[in-house]
Amino acid sequence: MSSKEKNSVTILTESQLSSRAFKDEAYEFYKELRKSQPLYPLSLGSLGKGWLISRYDDAIHLLKNEKLKKNYENVFTAKEKRPALLKNEESLTKHMLNSDPPDHNRLRTLVQKAFTHRMILQLEDKIQHIADSLLDKVQPNKLMNLVDDYAFPLPIIVISEMLGIPLEDRQKFRVWSQAIIDFSDAPERLQENDHLLGEFVEYLESLVRKKRREPAGDLISALIQAESEGTQLSTEELYSMIMLLIVAGHETTVNLITNMTYALMCHGDQFEKLRQQPDLMNSAIEEALRFHSPVELTTIRWTAEPFILHGQEIKRKDVIIISLASANRDEKIFPNADIFDIERKNNRHIAFGHGNHFCLGAQLARLEAKIAISTLLRRCPNIQLKGEKEQMKWKGNFLMRALEELPLSF
Structural element, H or E, at residue 320 = strand 319-322
Q: What is the rounded average pLDDT of the residues 385-409?
A: 93
Q: Lowest mean pLDDT: which of 114-128, 171-185, 254-268, 384-398?
A: 171-185
Average pLDDT, the chain: 91
Query: What is residue 260's predicted lDDT score, i.e. its pLDDT?
Result: 98
Q: Lowest mean pLDDT: which of 83-97, 164-178, 213-227, 275-289?
A: 83-97
Domains, the chain, ordered by start: 3-409 (1.10.630.10)
Q: Do you find a cis peptide bond into 102, omega within 30 degrees of 0?
A: yes
pLDDT by residue (tens digit) across 172-215? 888 888 888 776 666 677 788 888 888 988 999 999 999 999 99
At 226, the pLDDT band (50, 70, 90 cuts) reads: confident
Structural element, H or E, at residue 208 = helix 187-213
Query: What is residue 195's predicted lDDT score, i.e. its pLDDT?
Result: 86
At residue 49, φ and ψ (nearest 5 deg) are -85, 140
Q: Which amino acid is at 70?
A: K
Q: DSSP state, 356?
A: G
Chain Cα centroid distance, residue 224: 25
Q: What is the Cα–Cα distance from 131 to 372, expressed in whole angstroms? A: 6
pLDDT by residue (tens digit) across 64-96? 999 999 998 999 988 887 655 556 666 778 899
Q: Which residue has the higher pLDDT, 221 or 190?
A: 221
Overall size of the chain counted in residues: 410
From first CA to last CA, the distance across the chain in angstroms is 35
